Structure 1
Amino acid sequence: MLEIIMIVYQYVLLLCDFAALLWRCVVLTLTAVWRTISPAPLASLAGEIVLVTGAGHGIGRELSLQFARLGGRVVCLDVNEATNRNTKEDILREGGSAWAFKCDVGNRDEVKSVCAKVRQEVGEVTVLVNNAGIMPCKPFLRHTADEVIDVFRVNVFAHFWLVQEWLPSFLEAGRGTIVALSSIAGLVATSNLAPYCATKFAVRGLMEGLTEELRYAKRHPNIQLTSVYPFVVDTGLAQRPRIRFPSLNPVTSASQCAALVIEGVRRGEEVICIPTKDYYGHWLVNAMPREVRKAFLDFMDTGVDED
């Protein structure tokens, strides 16, 4: 008799858990709809120390300029010393605060050395923006071993080295923001970008894993992680983008992309960088069945052609 009672109890408990799950899904869906209609207020960035990798060009440069215009104290990192210095000087000309450090972010020892200089000359970073990336466009078998290693070194390992440097200070302060530039190619892969897609999926996995780790038992609720999934951005990385319906999913300018990223950071939201702010995009690439998604992508005929 006791065994029967225990079995019934377990089934009742399971049904209650399932009902709670359904209720939670409904509430979260309604909350998401409401957040779309009535977005969260924009947080201030005044006084934040913002470190941006790949600050000398493209999205990184625009992020640096726009963070500075909002009162952030910007630390520019780039392997190209000349363009990085130009970004810093442009910020200073506009009346902002900026520092520039030459750094190969894929080199762990160099990252440690430069971060020590940042702490000494600027202070503890409060917003980390892992933006630096490279994107060779060619068939998989034409990538050399060194090219594949380099793509992972810059696009993935740099995230690890920078997060390892600054996450401890975030934990100590009880606050901080980590921004990671993934890609639409980190949600849905495309041809001629296999190594690049792999790195962007890896960035997504890193950020989702960190999110789960930091939110477990509500241990670190004030450390914000923002993942960014740009579509094709006009930075020169994609030399021959192919888009069947450019009016539906147009190429984004670096300035537009940076503005959307910063808005996401200020609202604490994930970002898909399409100028029309197609919030259905995230649902399409994550919720649709795989085969339906493939058919949809074939119809859209969007990708990157070989250089």
Structure 2
Amino acid sequence: MFLDFDKMIGIIMIVYQYVLLMCDFVHLVVIAAFLTAKSMWYLLFPPPMKSVTGEIILVTGAGHGIGRELGLQFARMGAKVVCLDINEANNTKTVTDIKREGGNAWGYKCDVSSQEEVQEVSRKIRQEAGEVTILVNNAAIMPCKPFIKHTSGDIKNIFNVNLFAHFWTLQEWLPSFLAAGRGHVVAVSSIAGLMATSNIVPYCSSKYAVKGLMDGMTEELRYGGRNPNIKFTCVHPFIIDTGLTKKPRIRFPSFNPITTPETCAAKIIEGVCREEEVVCIPSRDYYGHIIMGLLPREVRKAFLDFMDTGVDEDC
């Protein structure tokens, strides 16, 4: 006896859904294998670096440390650098040094934790320097003490500088990137935004949030091929010799030395020019990142205990 038409259609649709599911699964396996092979290939043979000549690059926290080195090195590559820092004297020195080397630079005093100040300085930048094409959110603070010793004001200030400043600058410059159909956003997170440690719990939290922000923005602009020419690079430096970390603890300093701002900035710029995520572990960037990403959580914790690397309380 023949099935009635409605039952036949139902069976066909069920079979179709299973066939579609199997096709999607096979597609996933093939894509995963291809991307894994591509990653391994790029590990051995990195892609060519793009030029930043003529780009207008905004760097927050440009008065010292990584931000200062980013400004200097970007300018040497032919970029026009816009320097922002709350410390006007330090920021002016960075701008002066860039110009002394023959580069183009503008400097503005700005508390990037203040949305109003970011809006005001962005208007000045558009009038005097032009539309920013690469945004580097670098400014950060890192009080080192146990969580219980952080006041509510400390915690709010950490998140205002380390996280919310990213939102304020993105709100100002992402529309310009969308209108132009191109642009690059760089966020300096931290190795503590991948693997937390003691005495900097609010700092770790803010840096984990920066990674979440960048991952979310990447997916939002990638979805449906919306804006493929707007790039995002998240940076995870190890302990940098900038003065923020006053009492670093490293069990094997010869294996895992403190990074200089010059080296870190060079690694960041390489990542920007290759449009890659950056983990600034001296001489072991890719290796360390791959190992820590593949290990199970409990094994990673045991590895961190063995390495005994972290930050001790300032006082």
Q: Is the CA contact (8 Å cut-off) linking 1:181 and 1:228 kept in structure 2?
A: yes
Alignment correspondent of 2:199: 192
- Listed one character per residue, the Cα deviations across residues 115-155 of structure 1 (whole Å, up to 9, x for unaligned) are 10000011000010000000000000000110100000000
The Cα of 1:5 is off from its aligned counterpart by 4.2
Alignment correspondent of 1:298: 305
Q: Which of 273-282 and 171-180 deviates more?
A: 273-282
Q: Does 1:272 align with 2:279?
A: yes
Give the 5 Å matches for 1:275-290: 275-290=282-297
1:60 alignment partner AA: G
Alignment correspondent of 1:11: 18
The Cα of 1:268 is off from its aligned counterpart by 0.7
Q: Is the CA contact (8 Å cut-off) linking 1:187 and 1:286 kept in structure 2?
A: no
Q: Is the CA contact (8 Å cut-off) linking 1:188 and 1:285 kept in structure 2?
A: no
Distance 1:156 1:287 in 2: 27
The Cα of 1:15 is off from its aligned counterpart by 2.3
Q: Does 1:251 align with 2:219?
A: no
Distance 1:7 1:281 in 2: 46
1:245 alignment partner AA: F
Structure 1: unaligned runs, 5 residues or longer: none
Alignment correspondent of 2:190: 183
Give the 5 Å matches for 1:95-110: 95-110=102-117
Distance 1:9 1:96 in 2: 62
Distance 1:4 1:251 in 2: 64
The Cα of 1:4 is off from its aligned counterpart by 4.3
Q: Which of 4-13 and 289-298 deviates more?
A: 4-13
Identity %: 64
Q: Is the CA contact (8 Å cut-off) linking 1:284 and 1:293 kept in structure 2?
A: no
What is the TM-score with the length of structure 1 in the denominator?
0.97
- Listed one character per residue, the Cα deviations across residues 53-109 of structure 1 (whole Å, up to 9, x for unaligned) are 000010000000000000011100000000000000000100000111000000000
Give the 5 Å matches for 1:20-99: 20-99=27-106
1:30 alignment partner AA: A
Distance 2:300 2:238 in 1: 17
The count of aligned residue pairs is 307
Q: Is the CA contact (8 Å cut-off) linking 2:278 and 2:285 kept in structure 1?
A: no
What is the TM-score with the length of structure 2 in the denominator?
0.95
2:291 alignment partner AA: L
Q: Is the CA contact (8 Å cut-off) linking 2:58 and 2:135 kept in structure 1?
A: yes
Q: What SS does structure 2 have at the residue aligned with 1:129?
A: strand
Q: What SS does structure 2 have at the residue aligned with 1:252?
A: coil
Q: Is the CA contact (8 Å cut-off) linking 1:261 and 1:271 kept in structure 2?
A: yes
The Cα of 1:297 is off from its aligned counterpart by 1.1
Alignment correspondent of 1:215: 222
Q: Which of 288-297 and 108-117 deviates more?
A: 288-297
Q: What SS does structure 1 have at the residue aligned with 2:285?
A: coil
Distance 1:287 1:20 in 2: 23
Distance 1:94 1:275 in 2: 28
Distance 2:226 2:14 in 1: 35
In angstroms, what is the RMSD of aligned CA positions? 1.2
Distance 2:312 2:291 in 1: 23
- Bigger Rg, which one: 2
1:105 alignment partner AA: V
Give the 5 Å matches for 1:143-154: 143-154=150-161
1:189 alignment partner AA: A
Q: Is the CA contact (8 Å cut-off) linking 2:198 and 2:311 kept in structure 1?
A: yes
The Cα of 1:250 is off from its aligned counterpart by 1.6
Distance 2:206 2:18 in 1: 43
Q: What SS does structure 2 have at the residue aligned with 1:159?
A: helix
Structure 2: unaligned runs, 5 residues or longer: 1-6
Distance 1:36 1:286 in 2: 15
The Cα of 1:17 is off from its aligned counterpart by 1.7
The Cα of 1:45 is off from its aligned counterpart by 0.8
